[in-house]
């Protein structure tokens, strides 16, 4: 936030935002008490959650579902809403989970 | 896309074409990737002719037949941002409906070509020519070229993408031809060969396209008060760079066609004492009146403005500042003030000698006759210094 504001001739024209030059805001701080959790045993790898996540907070490994990146997940629940097998549930923020938001064994 | 173009032979002598057909031929030769358009009189024959070229396989353009002009420009914005050379066309109410997206296209710096058939705005509804439609877009950030005849309409349609897409510019270009007077009137038009036009306009390239997956971008996003102002300043800078680019493109076009253009056209103004300043097709009639008055020994001339945006102040000042009297003929009104061309001219001559008069003419397609133009000159010569706007041919 403390970066100096740039002059008109130092920024891309037309308001274009160049993805590689953008500092991603850590939208994970926006969550209001709930986070997604996945039960991998129920996941059918349809990747609907990955497509629908507005913050690219659903991680994949090549073409396989991997889990969540809580740094960017703002808790919108779209993943849980679109999950056809209810593998994704919204849970209380303080509930412990395994790596990548996977349900504790 | 595997469709190929059926070539039209390269050497085309003068053809009898309307301004609308001439513009459509220019579009066929440019062969834009995408044209999104909605028909409206008097622009319709532009896009009707062009659609036929596409249907006949003479252009491989993706035609998008949208449901309104608002959508036409929306689709054009999407297409141009994606990385496709894009054109559209409109007039009058269509331009009015398109206007918010014209501002967006200019602000997003998308080099879209717009073919305009100038027509009066409602109400009362009227299909005939005046310039009130394109004047709506005066402050939108588009380049505006007003042409005098079908030949100029063709030539500037060919030049438009090259001006618009120049890396210093990246702005939409409007080529404005007077509705009916140019769009529907057949004249001899000399065309370039298809290959010549294709080579002249070259490959489409913009710095950032949405489909460039190696350099992902977001386009048309949000600005807070800390950056919006800077983006507006960039648009002004782009406009300031247009005159040099326009000159380069016009000079390159001259080498190709033998037709030399400039952002303004001075006609017998060099040694004149009195002049008329005007946009569009009426300039042709004024030139004829100038010739007749010159035969009677009157030192009169005319300055036709082709590039209204940007307004090339220095050049215009050079030709006008030493005249004794100038009449600015506006074909649109800014109710509560003077005509838009008059306010430009008076601003750029504010510290000079000439007496300035503003005349409004031709609204809603009202004819302007040579003897009426002659009266304007005669009043100037008689030393008329009235500041009031006059209306030519109005019953009052």
Residue numbers in A near B208 (CB within 8 A):
12, 16, 18
Do B272 and B246 lie in one domain? The reply is: no
CA distances from B4 to A6, B56, B57, B60, B337 (A): 47, 11, 8, 7, 53
DSSP B373: H
Residue numbers in B near A20 (CB within 8 A):
215-216
Burial-class residue B138 by CB neighbours within 10 Å (0-12, 13-18, 19+): middle
Question: Of B282, B168, B258, B66, whose CA–CA distance to A13 is shortest?
Answer: B168
Reported in sequence order, the residue ranges of chain B that DSSP labels E, i.e. its strands, are: 15-18, 34-37, 62-65, 86-90, 113-118, 143-146, 173-178, 186-189, 217-218, 264-267, 274-278, 300-305, 307-309, 325-330, 355-360, 390-391
Please check whether residue B115 is in contact with residue B23, taking contact to mean a CB–CB distance below 8 angstroms.
yes
Give residue-wise pLDDT tens across range B92-150: 999 999 999 999 999 999 999 999 999 999 999 999 999 999 999 999 999 999 999 99
| Interchain contact A104–B (C-beta under 8 A) | no
B396 assigned to some structural domain: no
Backbone torsion region of residue B155, taken as left when φ is above 0, otherwise alpha when ψ lies between -120 and 50, otherwise beta: alpha
Q: Tell me how many domains chain B contains.
A: 2
ipTM, interface predicted TM-score of the complex: 0.88
Do B273 and B376 lie in one domain? The reply is: yes
Rounded distance, CA B340 to CA B331, Å?
9
Return the sign of the alpha-carbon dihedral for residues B319, B325, B331, B333: positive
B312 assigned to some structural domain: yes
Per the structure, the complete domain to which residue B310 belongs is given by 265-391
Angle, to 10 degrees, between the axis of helix B150-164 and the axis of helix B19-30? 30
To the nearest whole Å, the CA of A105 is away from the closest chain B CA by: 39
**Which residue from A minimizes the CA distance to B236?**
A8
Predicted confidence at residue A25, as pLDDT, reads 85
What is the CA angle B315-B321-B324, rounded to 5?
Answer: 140
Question: Of B172, B209, B181, B165, whose CA–CA distance to B118 is shortest?
Answer: B181
Do B294 and B192 lie in one domain? The reply is: no
> Which residues 220-239 on chain B approach chain A with CB closer than 8 angstroms?
220-221, 223, 226-227, 229-231, 233-234, 237-238
Predicted confidence at residue B13, as pLDDT, reads 67
B138 assigned to some structural domain: yes
Percent of chain B with pLDDT over 90: 94
Domain end point (choices B206, B234, B257): B257
| Interchain contact A96–B (C-beta under 8 A) | no
**Banded pLDDT at B1 (limits 50, 70, 90):** very low
To the nearest whole Å, the CA of B220 is away from the closest chain A CA by: 6
B234 assigned to some structural domain: yes
CATH number of the domain within which B318 lies: 3.40.50.920
Give residue-wise pLDDT tens across range B334-361: 999 999 999 999 999 999 999 999 999 9
Give residue-wise pLDDT tens across range B21-76: 999 999 999 999 999 999 999 999 999 999 999 999 999 999 999 999 999 999 99
B367 assigned to some structural domain: yes
Q: How many CA atoms lie within 13 A of B61 on its CB side?
A: 31
| Cβ-based neighbours of B248, under 8 Å, separated by 6 or more | none
Of B109, B220, B221, the CB nearest to A13: B109
Bridge partners, B114 (sequence order) = B88, B174
Give residue-wise pLDDT tens across range A19-61: 888 888 899 999 999 999 999 999 999 999 999 999 999 999 9
Rounded distance, CA B346 to CA B339, Å?
11
**Which residue from A minimizes the CA distance to B219?**
A16
Do B322 and B282 lie in one domain? The reply is: yes
And the tokens for B379? Answer: 């009043």
| Interchain contact B208–A (C-beta under 8 A) | yes
Number of other residues whose CB lies within 10 A of the CB of residue B105: 29
CA end-to-end span of chain B: 61
Predicted confidence at residue B3, as pLDDT, reads 58
CB distance A14–B110 less than 8 Å?
A: yes
Domain end point (choices B233, B257, B281): B257
Do B154 and B277 lie in one domain? The reply is: no
Question: Of B138, B118, B136, whose CA–CA distance to B41 is shortest?
Answer: B118
Domain end point (choices B257, B291, B325): B257
Predicted confidence at residue B4, as pLDDT, reads 65
**Is the predicted pLDDT of residue B205 greater than 90, yes or no?**
no
DSSP-H helix ranges across B167-264? 194-201, 228-257
Do B204 and B126 lie in one domain? The reply is: yes
B303 assigned to some structural domain: yes
| Interchain contact A8–B (C-beta under 8 A) | yes
Do B252 and B276 lie in one domain? The reply is: no
Predicted confidence at residue A42, as pLDDT, reads 97
* Domains annotated on chain A, with CATH: 24-92 (3.30.70.20)
Of A13, A18, A20, the CB nearest to B234: A13
| Cβ-based neighbours of A95, under 8 Å, separated by 6 or more | A37
> Which residues 14-53 on chain A approach chain B with CB closer than 8 angstroms?
14-20
Chain CA centroid to CA B322, Å: 28
Beta-strand pair A58-61/A64-68? antiparallel
pTM of the model: 0.89
Do B99 and B171 lie in one domain? The reply is: yes
**Is the predicted pLDDT of residue B372 greater than 90, yes or no?**
yes
Question: Of A104, A101, A83, whose CA–CA distance to A35 is shortest?
Answer: A101
Do B28 and B150 lie in one domain? The reply is: yes
**Which residue from A minimizes the CA distance to B221?**
A15
| Per-residue exposure over B339-351, b if at least 16 CB sit within 10 Å of its own CB, e if not | bbbbebbbebbee
**Is the predicted pLDDT of residue B15 greater than 50, yes or no?**
yes
B3 assigned to some structural domain: no
Do B244 and B358 lie in one domain? The reply is: no
CA distances from B49 to A27, A52, B20, B55, B178 (A): 52, 43, 8, 10, 18
Rounded distance, CA B386 to CA B54, Å?
54
And the tokens for A62? Answer: 């090549």
The 3-state DSSP composition of chain A as helix, strand, coil percent (nearest 5) reads 25, 20, 55
The stretch B312-327 carries a mean pLDDT of 97
Chain CA centroid to CA B213, Å: 35
B110 assigned to some structural domain: yes
Rounded distance, CA B268 to CA B287, Å?
9
| Cβ-based neighbours of B55, under 8 Å, separated by 6 or more | none
Rounded distance, CA B50 to CA B35, Å?
10
The 3-state DSSP composition of chain B as helix, strand, coil percent (nearest 5) reads 40, 20, 40
């Amino acid at each position: 936030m403390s970066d100096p504001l740039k002059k008109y001739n130092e920024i891309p024209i037309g308001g274009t935002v160049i993805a590689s030059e953008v500092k991603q805001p850590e939208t994970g701080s926006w969550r209001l008490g709930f986070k997604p959790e996945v039960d991998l045993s129920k996941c059918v790898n349809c990747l609907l959650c990955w497509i629908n996540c507005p913050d690219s907070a659903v991680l994949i490994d090549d073409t396989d579902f991997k889990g969540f990146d809580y740094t960017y997940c703002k808790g919108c629940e779209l993943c849980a809403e679109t999950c056809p097998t209810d593998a994704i549930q919204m849970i209380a923020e303080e509930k412990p989970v395994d790596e990548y938001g996977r349900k504790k064994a | 896309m595997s469709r190929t173009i059926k070539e039209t032979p390269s050497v085309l002598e003068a053809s009898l074409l309307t301004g609308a057909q001439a513009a459509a031929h220019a579009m066929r030769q440019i062969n834009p990737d995408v044209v999104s358009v909605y028909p409206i009189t008097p622009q319709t024959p532009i896009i009707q002719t062009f659609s036929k070229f596409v249907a006949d396989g003479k252009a491989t353009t993706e035609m998008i037949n949208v449901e309104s002009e608002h959508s036409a420009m929306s689709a054009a914005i999407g297409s141009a941002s994606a990385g496709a050379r894009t054109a559209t066309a409109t007039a009058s109410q269509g331009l009015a409906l398109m206007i918010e997206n014209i501002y967006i296209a200019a602000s997003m710096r998308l080099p879209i070509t717009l073919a305009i058939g100038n027509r009066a705005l409602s109400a009362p509804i009227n299909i005939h020519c005046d310039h009130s439609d394109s004047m709506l877009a005066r402050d939108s950030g588009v380049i505006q070229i007003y042409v005098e005849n079908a030949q100029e309409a063709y030539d500037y349609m060919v030049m438009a993408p090259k001006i618009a897409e120049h890396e210093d510019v990246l702005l939409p270009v409007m080529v404005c031809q007077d509705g009916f007077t140019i769009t529907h009137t057949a004249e001899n038009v000399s065309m370039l060969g298809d290959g010549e036009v294709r080579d002249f306009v070259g490959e489409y390239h913009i710095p950032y396209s949405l489909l460039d997956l190696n350099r992902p971008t977001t386009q048309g996003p949000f600005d807070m008060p800390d950056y919006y102002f800077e983006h507006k300043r960039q648009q002004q800078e782009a406009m300031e760079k247009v005159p040099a680019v326009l000159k380069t493109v016009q000079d390159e076009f001259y080498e190709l066609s033998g037709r030399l253009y400039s952002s303004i056209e001075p006609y017998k103004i060099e040694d004149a004492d009195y002049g008329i300043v005007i946009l569009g097709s009426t300039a042709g009639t004024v030139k004829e009146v100038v010739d007749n008055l010159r035969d009677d020994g009157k030192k009169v001339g005319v300055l036709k403005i082709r590039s209204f945006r940007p307004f090339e102040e220095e050049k215009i000042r050079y030709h006008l500042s030493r005249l004794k009297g100038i009449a600015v003929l506006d074909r649109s009104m800014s109710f509560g003030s003077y005509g838009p061309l008059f306010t430009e001219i008076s601003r750029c001559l504010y510290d000079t000698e000439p007496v300035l008069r503003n005349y409004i003419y031709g609204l809603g397609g009202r004819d302007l006759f040579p003897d009426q133009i002659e009266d304007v000159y005669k009043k100037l010569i008689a030393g008329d210094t009235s500041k009031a706007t006059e209306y030519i041919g109005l019953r009052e």
